[in-house]
Amino acid sequence: MTNMKQIKKIFIANRGEIALRIIKTCKEMGIKTVTIYTDEEKNLPHSLAGDESYCLGSGPLSETYLNQDKLITIAKKAQADAIHPGYGFLSEKAIFAKKVESNGLIFIGPDSLSIELMGDKKTSKIKIQELGVPSIPGYHGDNQELSNLKNEATKIGYPLLIKASAGGGGKGMRIVEQESEFQSALEAAKRESLNAFGDDTVLLEKYITSPRHIEIQVMSDTHGQHFHLFERECSIQRRYQKIVEESPSPSVNAELREKMTAAAIAITRGINYRGAGTIELILDTDGSFYFLEMNTRLQVEHPVTEMVIGLDLVKLQILVAQGDKLPFKQEDLKQNGHAIEVRLYAEDPDNNFLPSTGIIKSIGETSVLHTRLDCGYVDGNEVSISFDPMLAKLIAWGENRNVAAKSLALALDEVLFLGVQTNRDYLKRILTLPEYLEGKTYTHFVKTYENKLRPQEKSKEAKALAIAAFLFSQKKSSNEDVSINNKTDVWAALSGFRNI
């Protein structure tokens, strides 16, 4: 159904950097915003960044950001016209979209039918097969008996992948190399899927040994227009979580791009989609590609697309939600240069990626041209374990891939997050690795080059310079003499200071 109501106030059902990102566009469009926060987040930037802000209290996520009725009640109290879910949380919950619209509010996203259809791996694969889009050979049936699944696995052949039908993020997923491992892997996948999603249904797929993860950004309006905004490559992942994303993909040529984007448009047109979405594809080494899933929301990595095509995706989402016709044609959209994004996490890659907490003493600003920092924290904020460990996204644009990678590596030197251990140095090691610069970005990149990505031992001179820099910065900020009694404290404080 087409909304013909101009949106004047948006309730943001999210937090952190994505809430701030939405607010930025709303300000440019003259739209008022309503933000929410928990007791724990009173000092975080998003808590008071909206024109109105409401506290959700405390408690588990089910009582705060996932409490659908509470959020809708606040949105109505604030007299918002629409709700933007951001990503994560309730962004792909069909029941939430339905509740929003049944309460007279506009849901800034697709309709609940599209979310429901594409949110289930099984039903989505059946649908895209009807549309003639290639999918990975596998079994997506209802018969979940062990004997049947074993037979289907034999037909597919090993290695294969067991995947939770209802989930994502790597939960309920197991790679099975040979038949003898199948039963134990199946039981583990079903158990994990049931715990995470309340559903132990699984599907089986051929496992492609050296794939790339390619996704097509799509945008559709309510006037029958369906666009693709080209591809992103998100192959560099750890435990199925993306850490480096870029556009264009170094592995996609013009001919392949045309085939992939045509497949994406066939899907959005075939399900009468609206709004922003992402068609995720697996690319094999022989140029074959297969549908993986569709994300019916804005993606974390949307900035790389924005920097390459010069459009504001949040603005397009809002225009579509209020029933406007998108003001361009497909032939107007071009890729310009190259953009790369890295996700900065509060974790220690050199200590088995152990999560990190603490007070952020200094984030730092980047002076590198054509860079962008999307961050949900400011100096003095505390990083806790209550929410996702992603601190920020750092994005760089360059006239080509090497320029973008070099700019991003330089920018990482300046975005410090002093006081909290981060994966900053690890990301820089990825960006400067020769294999990365050569475009060998398969999904097993992190595992393949694990040894090369380990930190190099610092020389005595480098350590001396680090301590001197730390002492100088402390003395300068306090105007007092600083003494150090514990070398461990020095390196803890220096974590994230500079890659020396």
Q: Is residue 122 part of a domain?
A: no
Provide the edge-to-edge strand list for the sheet that holds 32-37. Answer: 52-55, 32-37, 9-12, 82-84, 106-107
Please tell me the predicted confidence (pLDDT) of residue 475. Answer: 55
Full residue range of the structural domain in which residue 32 is found: 9-108
Q: Are residues 469 and 421 in the same domain?
A: no
pLDDT in tens, 229-276: 999 999 999 988 899 999 999 999 999 999 999 999 999 999 999 999
Q: Are residues 65 and 183 in the same domain?
A: no
Q: Are residues 292 and 331 in the same domain?
A: yes
Q: Are residues 48 and 169 in the same domain?
A: no
Indicate the pTM of the whole model.
Answer: 0.86
Q: Are residues 318 and 428 in the same domain?
A: yes
Helices (H), 174-293: 182-197, 254-270
Please tell me the predicted confidence (pLDDT) of residue 451. Answer: 94
Please tell me the predicted confidence (pLDDT) of residue 461. Answer: 63
Q: Are residues 88 and 145 in the same domain?
A: no
Do residues 204 and 233 make contact, with C-beta atoms less than 8 angstroms apart? no
What mean pLDDT value characterizes the chain?
Answer: 91
As a whole number of angstroms, the distance between CA 63 and CA 325 comes to: 37
Give the chain's count of helices (H) and strands (E): 16, 21
Q: Are residues 77 and 170 in the same domain?
A: no
Q: Are residues 341 and 442 in the same domain?
A: yes
| Element housing 303 (H / E) | helix 302-309
Q: Is residue 120 part of a domain?
A: no
Q: Are residues 233 and 332 in the same domain?
A: yes
As a whole number of angstroms, the distance between CA 219 and CA 366 comes to: 31
Please tell me the predicted confidence (pLDDT) of residue 484. Answer: 47
Positions marked active-site: 297
Q: Are residues 387 and 277 in the same domain?
A: yes
Question: Average pLDDT of 110-130?
Answer: 92
Sequence-ordered list of residues with C-beta below 8 angstroms from that of 202, at least 6 positions apart, any chain: 144, 149, 162, 163, 164, 165, 172, 186, 189, 190, 193
Q: Are residues 326 and 403 in the same domain?
A: yes
Q: Is residue 423 part of a domain?
A: yes
Q: Are residues 170 and 47 in the same domain?
A: no
pLDDT at residue 498 is higher than 60: no
Q: Is residue 221 part of a domain?
A: yes
- How is residue 346 written in tokens? 């509060």
Please tell me the predicted confidence (pLDDT) of residue 474. Answer: 57
Please tell me the predicted confidence (pLDDT) of residue 494. Answer: 55
Confidence of residue 496 (pLDDT cuts 50, 70, 90): very low
As a whole number of angstroms, the distance between CA 64 and CA 56 comes to: 6
* Cα–Cα–Cα angle for 53, 55, 59, rounded to 5 degrees: 150
Beta bridge partners of 295: 278
Please tell me the predicted confidence (pLDDT) of residue 196. Answer: 85
Q: Is residue 499 part of a domain?
A: no
Q: Characterise 149 by phi-psi region: left (phi > 0), alpha (psi -120 to 50), beta (else).
A: alpha
**Domain count along the chain:** 4
